[in-house]
A = this chain, B = another copy of it.
């Protein structure tokens, strides 16, 4: 089925001015104003683009990333096949630095150009290794940071192209793929002490049992989601209450609150939310790497009374042993550890599992080396029986990761117990095939591809620094 030789790769720096604050009149929309501006968390409706911009201005503050402009390095690959199909890939960034990732994509491009798609997917492990182990480029990684984010963007585009050519959404391409073919996409280097090719095959073969029923179930009910849109830092208590009330009305049953800047403030906000949602619904907490290890234990011991399901990113994403220590202290208090959105490769996830350092594993569709590396992490999680609860939000992360988690349920984990996928309701309107949330669940995408394709008009408008949006904003910022 696959066809064509990659004839062109373009990459663009696309930024949404979600930080706004202080950059012009539009930015002055307050959180409270936002609530009345129809930008409410809504499980069914797509809100208008204008309202979204206002919402985004307030949506994104956590203790470590105080002023993000949600952005993406956006890759498009074209082939010489005459079907006109393009592969689109993104990696998510926070504004500044997107140009660095763009530069890294260009550094990788020669590995992709003039390759037959058939040869790429026919030896996807080899192709992955070629990108990640370039004898010169690997020094500036290896498999981490900028160069790995760039690898993700490129490979996400390849997966989008492959799935589009097959006429299937990526989750379905994966579900229908022969286990041996799936395994041939994975680079097992540095993880064979935990997961060999044979282990992987065995897991996938077991996953074939009951697969059809689970696929039907997903198509009917979707994959359960939770919302992070209610309780970012910096919201007034009134905003918090209003957003929470609306989310409850929209059918959400799981809520995440940002913590870590100020203990007293956290106590008050957690009390408000727990009061609003009642004792039965699920509350998660997210510290965005704010603490050192002893501080994390101390702080969370005080927040334990609000019965959080997990504390997310309590400390440095690199600190495997630190997470293990925190986990050992908090699990007896009923609090699990969740981490992963900034874990830079499968080697880190391997160790988090080995060290019993997490109870919830949060994959990210753009930080790891695309579907290929995420497959290895899903399989390791299955081996350790740790539930995968993906990170999403930002721009495009929901669109991509839904494919991975739906595949995980149908073909790998076969369980929804303790599993839930993050959802944040913004910037979906810029995508050609935006996520569809129904009854607080991700409904499996039906369009071919990886849901990565952005609307050309959105890309053009938000290109940095020459798009219309930035041409207006940048002079204002300079004043």
The interface of chain A, by Cβ under 8 A from chain B, is 64-69, 92-97, 99-101, 103-104, 107, 133-149, 188-193, 289, 292-295, 315-322, 325, 342, 344-345, 347-348, 350-351, 354-355
Contact = CB atoms under 8 A, between A and B. Distances in A.
Contacts of A322: 190, 193, 347, 351
Contacts of A293: 190, 192-193
Nearest to A92: B139
A256 to B, nearest CB: 19
Contacts of A351: 318-322
A100 B133 CA distance: 16
Contacts of A190: 292-293, 315-316, 318-319, 322
Contacts of A319: 190, 347, 350-351
A193 B135 contact: no
24 contacts: A65-B138, A67-B136, A68-B136, A68-B139, A95-B136, A97-B104, A97-B107, A97-B136, A97-B137, A99-B103, A100-B107, A104-B146, A142-B342, A144-B144, A144-B318, A145-B146, A145-B148, A146-B146, A190-B319, A192-B295, A319-B351, A320-B321, A320-B351, A321-B355
Interface centre among A95, A135, A293, A342 (most CB of B within 10 A): A135
A77 to B, nearest CB: 20
Contact of A100 (B147, B325, B344, B348): B147
Nearest to A15: B136
Given A99-B103, A348-B318, A355-B321, A189 B292 contact: yes
A342 to B, nearest CB: 7
A298 B303 CA distance: 47
Contacts of A149: 140
Give the copy number: 2
A29 to B, nearest CB: 20
Contacts of A345: 318
Contacts of A93: 136, 139-140
A345 to B, nearest CB: 7
A66 B193 CA distance: 26
A318 B292 contact: no
Given A101-B140, A140-B93, A193 B325 contact: yes
Interface centre among A97, A107, A192 (most CB of B within 10 A): A97
B140 A146 contact: yes
A415 B67 CA distance: 47
Contacts of A188: 292
Contacts of A148: 145
A318 B103 CA distance: 24
A146 B68 contact: no
Nearest to A290: B189
Given A145-B144, A321-B320, A64 B292 contact: no
A6 B80 CA distance: 51
Contacts of A289: 142
Given A97-B139, A136-B68, A344 B144 contact: yes
